[in-house]
Structure 1
Amino acid sequence: MQQSMALLALGINHKTAPVEVRERLAFAPEQLGQALQDARMRGALSEVAILSTCNRTELYGVAPLHEGRAVLEWLANFHGVDINELSKSAYVHWDREAIRHMARVACGLDSLILGEPQILGQLKTAFSSAQHNGSLGSRMNRWFQHTFNVAKQVRTQTAIGENPVSVAYAAVSLAQRIFAELSESRALLIGAGETIALVGRHLREAGIKDVTVVNRTLSRAQTLAEELEGRAIPLADLAEYLHEADIVIASTASPLPLIGKGVVERALKKRRYKPMFMVDIAVPRDIEPEVERLEDVYLYTVDDLQQVIEEGVKARQDAAEEAELLIAQGLEHFMEQLRARDAVQTLREMRFNAEQIRDQEVQKALRYLERGQSPEEVLTQLARGLTNKLIHTPSIELKKASAEGRTDMLVQARRLYGLDKAPSED
């Protein structure tokens, strides 16, 4: 007996597994092609796509219903992880819940930072990779397209990604409030760590083209500057370039301030007192608190950003509730489409079966006519033969259902054959 195939979402994420486990189950880009083919050959998956990020590893696929254990075993074997250890961290969703889960992932509702937009691009990359490697079929294609449509609807109809919920994003959001046109501004970033790198990426996305990276280790500054298409200078030269910056954002591990009031005063003089926007994300501070007293400087600290972040989190949570409603509505619509497709397939098979019976009976009737039987007698036999064969299997199944007390099947049969309708006056 052929097993029923279902949509499957299986994996681990930052909520269920520590980073040590996530690292061991991550797929490197060069592994994906082999993994997709291997999952189909050995993992009970007829169609499959793999999403692998720093916060999650997930397999989306079509598999025999309730065969999640086989897919888990494949994932464990591929990475050399004990299956029992993996089972403690893994989740498995089927059909409706799988569809809902992928939509929530795409919309950033399952992310470490609520509403973050990068995950949608990563999901699209996973889809493209699976397409390129020939591991997708019609069911997965429809599933991914539904997910992308829902994510687009959530992004355009809610404010899920509009409000800052990280220090880096909050710093750039404040800059956007102060400068009407960021593309005309010049930014100076002090430090080269993860937070400053994220600030730089947000600035680029906001339209800033002129970025300078300052760091004690010049090589690290150069690496980040290349990514941001900017320039790098050593920390020793900071005072020489400070006056060029409209926006200064600092985040280093220095135990003492790197920018004092006097340095900023000299920079302002060179700028002819054109305002400067400064954000000190570091703890301990990189910019002396006295700088705030200068009339043409807008200085914000990490405490100032916290209020912006709290406002952003609340706004995103409200938007997330709207997003959940859109996902639920989209899910119902998609399930209706799937059920309609199932009905079309069933009707196609019913018609094919009926046409086979018809053709057999017609051929039998033609042979009778060739033998000289009267047309009236042949037509009667044809009609009787068609009737008996078309209702033969339903009759057996209904008798069986009645004997087993399955009255619901009898009710559905009466509805299906229109037996409860009032007779036509015609």
Structure 2
Amino acid sequence: MNFVAIGVNHHTASVQMREKIAFNAERLRALFAQNQNQANLNDLVVVSTCNRTEVYAITEQPDQVLNWLAQSNGFEVSALLQHVYRYEDVQAMTHLMRVAGGLDSLMLGEPQILGQVKSALQLAKDNDVVSSNLNRLFEFAFYAAKRVRTETAVGEHAISMGYAVAQLASQVFSHVSALTVLIVAAGEMNSLVAKHLAEMGVAKIIICNRTRQRAENLAQEIGARVSVEVVEFDQLATQLHRADVVSSCTGSLHQVIHYDDVKKALKQRKYQPMLMVDLAVPRDIEDKVNKLDGVYLYGVDDLQAVIDENMVQRRQAALDAEVMVSQLASQFVVNEKIHQAGREIHHYREVAEQQRQAELEFALEQLKHGAEPEALLEAMSYRLTKKMLHIPSKLFREAAKSEDPTHFEWLNQTVLDIEQHARTLKEINKKD
């Protein structure tokens, strides 16, 4: 099929190099339009994320795809060669399945990449640069990715701080949908915590940040998925009692959540449990808070130990996923052979039908001119048999040359089946 995958990723290129090779949707649309009249650049999908830029294409000229990737980003091909990888046919398909399944990601098993690959395919389809064959390859890769997700544990264990906090909340509390979360500081780490908890379906998120605008920016990002409230930083102590989960990561040199404030909050809550996560270094939450009954306090080191253990489990699960991908790649090859054989069989049947029609028309014409029916039928059957046996005879000769004895055995069995059919037909004719 001449399917190729050509690109760079976090394994082969620095972030500076990846930035220079990245595409956005607008530039891709313009490039696709330019490729309309170039046969070898008119059946491709470009996957471009922060960690990879890859071109998947069905083409007779893979080098032309490589040249396009380099020239589109102002590179000489020679400068790109030391960073680029190139896979063809089954290897390319295996790579695409691994990418879609999160097995080739910087964060092993991360789920976002599947959506990114689907978006890349849709962009290419919207710009009419995807054939039915290329679309079929991607659909099979999505099927493989879904099986990796549902049949292995490669994506089940938290391996980021944000996700780990969300998972911890689901373990401490039985009803996540009833939780109120207090986010103390709206920096990058806590923004991820808030997004994960919003996706998990908590009831409310309160954002407390020194700069109100930054808090409101985060509120706008997650507001479509969860009820959000922004409070001033000087109200932090008075807001603690409202929170089932507190995640703090201020970067302050001094602690911002104190023992006495938490003790008071617990009393206001009638001693309902609180999960408090301190992601800051130096720490935001006074250490002796951990002595209060009903408070579960976790620090960075606690979460890192969980993440390290989870990474080991993901890597073990990834071994199962790799075996699955290898098996699915073999299945894909078989499917392609069947698909190809189906086309060839259809063509062969069309040719056989044309020959039958030609012989029938010739025979009918001969009958009009007074030809003897029996002699005519015999001659027609002889000509048809000779024509129909031409291709099988060639197969027999090729099988005889083959080192694989099963080829010849299969043809021999086919002949036996034909002989049995002929005997059956002869017996039927005798009874009639």
TM-score, scaled relative to structure 1: 0.86
1:331-342 mapped onto 2 (5 Å cutoff): 331-342=329-340
- Which string of whole-angstrom CA distances, capped at 9 and with x for unpartnered residues, describes residues 54-105 of structure 1? 11222223222xx322111112222223322322222222222222222211
Any residues of structure 2 matched to 1:161-310 within 5 Å, and which? 161-229=155-223, 230-310=228-308
SS in 1 for 2:59: strand
Q: Which moved more, 1:370-379 or 1:5-14?
A: 370-379
SS of 1:79's partner is coil
Task: Give the partner amino acid of 1:290.
Answer: K
> In the alignment, does 2:23 pair up with 1:27?
yes
**Kept in 1: contact 2:219–2:229 (CA 8 A):** yes
Aligned counterpart, 1:100 = 94
The alpha-carbon deviation at position 377 of structure 1 amounts to: 4.5
Q: Distance in 2 between matches of 1:419 and 1:240?
A: 85
The answer to whether the aligner puts 1:127 opposite 2:125 as a matched pair is: no
Distance change >3 Å, CA 396–CA 323, structure 1 → 2:
closer
1:194-246 residue CA offsets vs partner (Å, 9 max, x unmatched): 22111111111222131122222221111111112222234333223223222
Superposed CA RMSD:
3.0
Match of 1:85 in 2: 79
Of the candidates 135, 138, 141, which is equivalent to residue 132 of structure 2?
Answer: 138
Q: Deviations over 1:134-190 (max 9, x none)?
A: 333322232222222222222222222221111111122222221111221111112
Aligned to 1:52: 48
Quick check: 346-355 or 416-425, which moved more? 416-425
Whether the 8 Å CA contact 1:187–1:247 is kept in 2: the answer is yes
- Counterpart Cα distance in 1 of 2:414 and 2:304: 69
The one-letter code matched in structure 2 to 1:105 is: V
- What is residue 153 of structure 1 aligned with on the other side? 147
Q: State whether structure 2 residue 317 is matched by structure 1 residue 319.
A: yes
Comparing 262-271 and 121-130, the one that deviates more: 262-271
Q: Bigger shift: 95-104 or 253-262?
A: 253-262
Aligned-residue offset at 1:414: 8.4
- Report the 3-state secondary structure (helix = DSSP H, G, I; strand = E; otherwise coil) of the residue aligned with 1:277: strand
**Please, which of 352, 355, 363 is the counterpart of residue 354 of structure 1?**
352
- 5+ unaligned residues in a row in structure 2: which ranges? 424-432
Q: 1:295 to 1:389 in 2, by over 3 A?
A: closer
SS in 2 for 1:89: coil
Is 1:17 paired with 2:13?
A: yes
Unaligned stretches of 5+ residues in structure 1: none
Indicate the percent of aligned positions where both proteins have the same amino acid. 39
Contact residue 24 and residue 81 of structure 1 kept, 8 A: no
Q: Supply the distance in 2 between the matched residues of 1:113 and 1:195 (Cα, whole angstroms).
A: 16
Moved more, 346-355 or 230-239: 230-239
Give 1:358's aligned amino acid. Answer: R
- Separation in 2, partners of 1:161, 1:113: 10
SS in 2 for 1:92: strand
- What letter matches 2:22 in structure 1? A
Change (3 A) 1:258 1:135: same
SS in 2 for 1:285: coil
- What corresponds to 1:113 in structure 2? 107
- Decide whether aligned partners of structure 1 residues 236 and 85 sit closer, same or farther in structure 2, where only a CA change above 3 A counts: farther
1: CA distance, partners of 2:196 / 2:130:
34
Match in the other structure for 1:68 = 62
| Corresponding residue SS for 1:227 | helix
Contact 2:25-2:123 within 8 A present in 1 as well: no
2:342 equivalent among 344, 360, 384: 344
C-alpha distance in structure 1 between counterparts of 2:283 and 2:161, whole Å? 15
Single out whichever of 10-19 and 301-310 deviates more from structure 2.
10-19
Give, in whole Å, the separation in 2 of the partners of 1:222 and 1:43. Answer: 49
Q: 1:189 to 1:421 in 2, by over 3 A?
A: same
Counterparts in 2 of 1:41 and 1:84: CA distance versus 1, 3 Å: farther
Distance 2:3 2:406 in 1: 31
Structure 1 contact 191–215 (Cα < 8 Å) conserved: yes
Corresponding pairs, count: 417
1:11 is displaced (CA, Å) by: 1.8
| CA positional deviation for 1:330 | 2.4
Per-residue CA deviations over 1:25-47 (Å, capped at 9, x if unaligned) read 22213334334444554471443
**TM-score relative to the length of structure 2:** 0.85
2-side partners of 1:367 and 1:414: how far apart?
42
Deviation at 1:409, TM superposition (A): 9.9
State which drifts further: 271-280 or 107-116: 271-280
Amino acid at match of 1:25: I
